[in-house]
Structure 1
């Protein structure tokens, strides 16, 4: 039976200020400042020369010889792991934080067959190039689905799996969420606004609360989507949403062979397509209070750490308490 542990989290204060988006960024997020030096990995995939942006941060504390790969979510980037990179590096880990193809500082090809297998393969090639033979792989949100796929494909190269409020803890299409075509997702992405992103993230990710430091990430996401490459960015984003909806990892949690740390903010309500779901479907999806416990029972070697009252991004809401729990979980392995 997985071990379940609850952590008491202090409440946050809401912030009503809503600054107006001022910046736009290039199609590979040119102009947005990353917290650590950005490097690029060029490789061939599906007949194209592509590049992945990534940060490779050495241990600043006493090096322990271990490496950690951080996989970002759909509305996030490698940069949003800033606090986690600092905490892990200070604890002695080498930290790799890539941007996946289609996201942030990486290529956004005209035509690409998106699959979690393909993104995992791309990441594995990056790690081979960096000489990393084994790593702890931590995924947040959509990155949790990718990290799960990576661990299923490369169990020998995965020392430990960490899932931070991953999406995909349920199969939305099987539960009755209507399918949306790539064209429909594309039209939605073209309409992105700072106000809309802020409201969605506040209501869904942060349990109705807002902190001024979240504005930087709204600026990053909307600035990319409103920049000179906005059509290409929106199209790739639509393809990625289709991948997320149609390629569940839920049925393979039982097949994971690596020790898995589930870090769950229990008040998260994220579910793809929730806004277009019938009321009776909407009412029963995205319940992380329940989903975390259910999936912890499906994964053979799972440890569940719950953050009561926190939402989709506990590493950003309460970083000190989150990183304490993360490092404890990694050291327990």
Structure 2
């Protein structure tokens, strides 16, 4: 009897320990980033906040800096291979976690691309960096576009990797309030994250992508997850209400657009009928259309690739990136 009780206690402790190890804080304290992380103090709406960032310096610098803006469901952790490739070529690489994402503060504020752009400008100024090549993926592409329009003298070149916002979601996605989105976000689970990532980001799922799900879903077990869910709703509202697609023609810097031809990303896709889904989010169409809107834009497309070429088509993407940076 005592042996059975002891075995039960050991199994219980093991299960609890495993559950705790799979639970992430909403600022990812228990996720190790590929390079050291610093923090920029930020004060917004009377709140003392901080923005996390990596500042990776090359062994043999070429005097140029690249800044990387991540997508909505990610943080700086998924840029590892891109950072390595660029630093190996002598580039200094600055990788912020935008406010509300990754290791940065999860603040209840009014989120706007204008404000995020200003914070990133402050970060560059604090690091003494005058000029950058700016690359943005997904939501980061919307932010990179806004940053370039606000601070054209800072940006030598703009690189957009499967940016969202190539169409105005307000014209076909039904409106949801932040409270509506918050209620939906609270239902997030490991299974729902895995299904979304499999169906939305990649053409074929591979085991090496599992870490993205573990990070994306790990926070759902945190006691602070309701705060995380609220911020996710607020940033969804930012994307929905603040389109950049009407301003592509105003971009004056050299631009390269990288797209996976099988990308079918639509912000708010779950709110659409199958008929509406078929009409929108077609990057094999949106990519060429957008490239025509941006003066002198170069379009590079990847066959059999979805929303994240720097992961799904890594070798081809890095080769094209380094050839066009």
TM score, norm. by length of structure 2: 0.92
Partner of residue 174, structure 2 = 178
Find 2:277's aligned residue among 278, 282, 295.
Answer: 282
Give RMSD over aligned pairs: 1.3
Which ranges of structure 1 fall in alignment gaps of 5 or more residues? 1-19
Shift of 1:192: 1.0
User: 1:244 and 1:211 mapped to 2: Cα distance?
Assistant: 29
SS state at 1:283 partner: helix
User: 2:245 and 2:135 mapped to 1: Cα distance?
Assistant: 17
- 8 A Cα contact 1:25 1:228, kept in partner: no
SS state at 2:209 partner: helix
Find 1:164's aligned residue among 130, 145, 161.
Answer: 161
Shift of 1:36: 0.6
Shift of 1:308: 1.1
Partner of residue 291, structure 2 = 296
Shift of 1:27: 2.5
Q: How does 1:205-220 map to 2 (within 5 A)?
A: 205-207=201-203, 209-220=204-215
Structure 1, residues 223-247: CA drift from partner, whole Å, max 9, x if none?
1233232011111110000110111
Q: Is it true that 1:268 corresponds to 2:263 in the alignment?
A: yes
Structure 1, residues 265-288: CA drift from partner, whole Å, max 9, x if none?
110111011121133321111100
TM score, norm. by length of structure 1: 0.90
Shift of 1:43: 2.1
Which range is displaced more, 309-318 or 196-205? 196-205
Which ranges of structure 2 fall in alignment gaps of 5 or more residues? 1-18
The number of residue pairs the alignment matches comes to 307
User: 1:313 and 1:149 mapped to 2: Cα distance?
Assistant: 21
SS state at 1:155 partner: coil
**Where is the helix percentage greater, Structure 1 or Structure 2?**
2
Partner of residue 81, structure 1 = 79
Q: How does 1:231-270 map to 2 (within 5 A)?
A: 231-270=226-265
Q: How does 1:16-95 map to 2 (within 5 A)?
A: 23-60=22-59, 62-95=60-93
Name which structure has the greater RCO, CA cutoff 8 Å, separation 6+. Answer: 1
Partner of residue 305, structure 1 = 300
Q: Quick check: which has more Rg, 1 or 2?
A: 2
User: 1:325 and 1:161 mapped to 2: Cα distance?
Assistant: 14
User: 2:24 and 2:194 mapped to 1: Cα distance?
Assistant: 18
Partner of residue 197, structure 1 = 193
Shift of 1:22: 5.8
Find 2:121's aligned residue among 121, 124, 129.
Answer: 124
